[in-house]
Chain A
Amino acid sequence: MAIVYNSRLDAEEHGFHPLVTVLVPLLALLFQVYLPKYFHGFALFDLPLIVTIFFSVARRNAISGTLTGAIIGLLQDALSGLPIGINGIAKSIVGFFAASIGVRIDVDNTGTRLLLNFSFALLSSLIYILITRVLLGTEVPIAWSHELIRALANGLLAVPLFLVMDMMKRNRS
């Protein structure tokens, strides 16, 4: 699990077919609302978060990452019935940092991807708790063990999903 830290400003930037840009987040949202009906534990995963991280690190553009996260998060809020903006804010921040980190480290490494998704899932949970507690004033209990399990589950799921989504990349540099 070697994390290569170097300046990768000269590294490859990837683009995607417009259809992929629209359909992949949409499918992630669809499976996120559909699969927990049959597999209740699937609600532990956050497919839209994994897709946000993937697009952000592949494009290596902070503005693009922020906007991708915001749009996916807002759509997730709209479908989940939560106040619109909770996931939007969390995923905007995740998208921004994922794109910024994607410039600096080797994100094609499996270990890095696992660690990246684990960390961003934890960050996303932390932002969610902060928003609901501070901005909305709702009493959300903090179960750190549950959040760690959630982050680990998302990290593990992200590894094969990233491999599948790698096939949709188009080299731009």
Chain B
Amino acid sequence: MESFFARYKNLLVLAAVLLLQMVALAMQVRRTLPQSGPDPQKVRLVRYWAVAAVSPLERALFAIAHSTRNAWLNYIDLRRVRSDNDSLRFEVSRLRLEQASVAEDAKQAQRLQSLLGFSEHYIHKTLPAQVIGTSGTDQSRMFYIDKGSHDGLKPDMPVITPDGIVGKIKDVFPSVSQVLEVSDQTSGAGVILESTRIRGILRGNPAGQLQIISLLPDERIKPGERVLTSGGDQVFPKGLPVGQVVSVEKDKDHDPYIDVLIKPAANLLQLEEVLVITQLGDHMTDTQQKDLNQAEAAAQINRRASDVLSEKLPGKQAPGDAAAPDLIHAPDKNPNSVPITVKPPPALHPDRFSPPGAKALPPSPDTAPPKKPTAPLAPPHP
């Protein structure tokens, strides 16, 4: 017996080491569903040791590289600060005008939401953080930031950049945190297509691309359409940019579903600084309210200016003129003409958002075309 152990001790050690790891692996898989959630306590301990061993070195390396790079870049930046300043001023003016044009819509949407008792989530507080390291492999899409539980971070907090969403916090350690990118296979986010309002679930595929999965084929989904967060995942607030539709492909494994490939709005391959959303609220902050008021005032001025311009345009009818033509509901003198009503384009395929039996409903008398008389009417007798 002794000779057996002596003879095969190498193989026995290998078998024991493999068996231990397989058992550990099986326990993790059983306990960590869904996989994107935080790890169980014992696994967390192993990660904690590894992060504690590597993160101080990582932070030191990052600090050296960052300060060297900053010193050089600051010098370069100083040389072109004047031209940058001019272009930024121009950009601010342009954005003010753009903001003014949407402020009125935003206010109206708020009023409607409050009427419906719908609670909107606004970003109240964010914490900037530096990316100090990656997962080191293309088998998982994660990175480390230089803020942790000491800075008030918790698992599942959303991580964004000014361009778009990046991911959510997976594990938090005292001075660093691990962020799971939206492009990871185990990640997930609720999204909505901006113009078609089609909702879906965003996932990363094995190649690290973003895709919306399990959608039924719909010809309205076109490349270039913007994708936003829907707020349905309870992690990301509604309306944050996610990316743009790149292509629509048939899901080979799940017929008849399609996969919509997305180009992320944030550059996930070159992340330097990110923002962690640490607090959401159901009302706007003072600064946001102030910005909105300013935008509204600017919109009011713009509207007055456009009114003045339109007064001078030829063909403008005086207000209150009964004969003023309405482009949409124009009363036509011709009794046989059909009243025009603008309707949204119908869905090409019925989906779960369409009211049931919509086709069976009788047309409204306003919209139904008048029946043509089968025979000419006889003139009335005197």
* Residue A78 at the chain B interface, CB threshold 8 Å: yes
Q: By the criterion CB–CB under 8 Å, are A81 and B142 in contact?
A: yes
**CA of A126 to CA of B27 in the docked complex: distance in angstroms?**
23
**CA of A170 to CA of B374 in the docked complex: distance in angstroms?**
109
Stretch at the interface among A2-10, A104-112, A114-122, A130-138: A130-138
* Residue A168 at the chain B interface, CB threshold 8 Å: no
* Residue A155 at the chain B interface, CB threshold 8 Å: no
Give 1 or 0 for each of B146-185: 1 = CB within 8 Å of chain A CB. Answer: 0000000000000000000000001100000010100001
B15 to chain A, nearest CB (A): 10
Residues 4-44 (chain A) with a chain B CB within 8 angstroms: 26-27, 29-30, 32-34, 36-38, 40, 43-44
Which residues of A are found within 8 Å of B206, using beta-carbon distances?
Answer: 139-141
Residues 126-154 (chain B) with a chain A CB within 8 angstroms: 131-140, 142-144
**CA of A86 to CA of B24 in the docked complex: distance in angstroms?**
10
Q: By the criterion CB–CB under 8 Å, are B21 and A70 in contact?
A: yes
Residue among B136, B144, B206 with most chain A CB within 10 A: B136
Instruction: Tell me the number of A-to-B contacts counted with CB atoms below 8 Å.
Output: 136
B373 to chain A, nearest CB (A): 66
**CA of A89 to CA of B51 in the docked complex: distance in angstroms?**
20
With A26-B53, A34-B58, A85-B28 as contacts: A80 and B17 at CB distance below 8 Å: no
Which residues of A are found within 8 Å of B53, using beta-carbon distances?
Answer: 26, 75
A139 to chain B, nearest CB (A): 7
Q: By the criterion CB–CB under 8 Å, are B9 and A32 in contact?
A: no
Q: Which of B13, B14, B46, B57 contacts A78 (CB 8 A)?
A: B46
- Report, as a range, how many residues of chain B touch the other chain: 35 or more
Q: By the criterion CB–CB under 8 Å, are B22 and A85 in contact?
A: yes
**CA of A83 to CA of B62 in the docked complex: distance in angstroms?**
26
B145 to chain A, nearest CB (A): 11
**CA of A138 to CA of B47 in the docked complex: distance in angstroms?**
22
**CA of A131 to CA of B18 in the docked complex: distance in angstroms?**
12
* Residue B340 at the chain A interface, CB threshold 8 Å: no
Q: By the criterion CB–CB under 8 Å, are A82 and B43 in contact?
A: no
Q: Which of B25, B133, B185, B207 contacts A33 (CB 8 A)?
A: B133
* Residue B49 at the chain A interface, CB threshold 8 Å: yes
Q: By the criterion CB–CB under 8 Å, are B24 and A84 in contact?
A: yes
Q: Which of A37, A66, A135 contacts B143 (CB 8 A)?
A: A37
Specify the chain A residue showing the minimal Cβ separation from B48.
Answer: A78
B204 to chain A, nearest CB (A): 13
With A30-B57, A40-B269 as contacts: A78 and B138 at CB distance below 8 Å: no
Interface SS majority for chain A = helix
Which residues of B are found within 8 Å of A52, using beta-carbon distances?
Answer: none
With A79-B51, A89-B21, A89-B22 as contacts: A37 and B133 at CB distance below 8 Å: yes
* Residue B50 at the chain A interface, CB threshold 8 Å: yes
Which residues of B are found within 8 Å of A81, using beta-carbon distances?
Answer: 135, 140, 142, 170-171, 178, 180
A52 to chain B, nearest CB (A): 13
B137 to chain A, nearest CB (A): 5
Q: By the criterion CB–CB under 8 Å, are B139 and A80 in contact?
A: yes
* Residue A154 at the chain B interface, CB threshold 8 Å: no
With A83-B29, A85-B24, A138-B185 as contacts: A92 and B14 at CB distance below 8 Å: yes
* Residue B54 at the chain A interface, CB threshold 8 Å: yes
Q: By the criterion CB–CB under 8 Å, are A70 and B17 in contact?
A: yes
Q: By the criterion CB–CB under 8 Å, are A93 and B18 in contact?
A: yes
Which residues of A are found within 8 Å of B143, using beta-carbon distances?
Answer: 37
Q: Which residues of B approach A to under 8 Å, CB–CB?
A: 9-10, 13-14, 17-18, 21-22, 24-26, 28-29, 32, 43, 46-47, 49-51, 53-54, 57-58, 61-62, 65, 131-140, 142-144, 170-171, 178, 180, 185, 206-207, 269-271
Lowest 6 A-B CB distances belong to which pairs?
A78-B50, A85-B25, A32-B136, A62-B10, A33-B136, A85-B21
Q: Which residues of A approach B to under 8 Å, CB–CB?
A: 26-27, 29-30, 32-34, 36-38, 40, 43-44, 46, 62-63, 66-67, 70, 74-76, 78-86, 88-89, 92-93, 96, 100, 128, 131, 135-136, 138-141
Besides the known contacts A40-B269, A92-B17, 15 further A-B residue pairs in the complex with CB atoms under 8 A apart: A26-B54, A26-B57, A33-B54, A46-B137, A62-B10, A66-B10, A78-B47, A79-B47, A79-B51, A80-B136, A81-B140, A89-B18, A89-B22, A139-B206, A141-B207
8 contacts between A and B (CB under 8 A): A32-B136, A33-B134, A34-B132, A43-B138, A62-B10, A78-B49, A80-B139, A136-B29
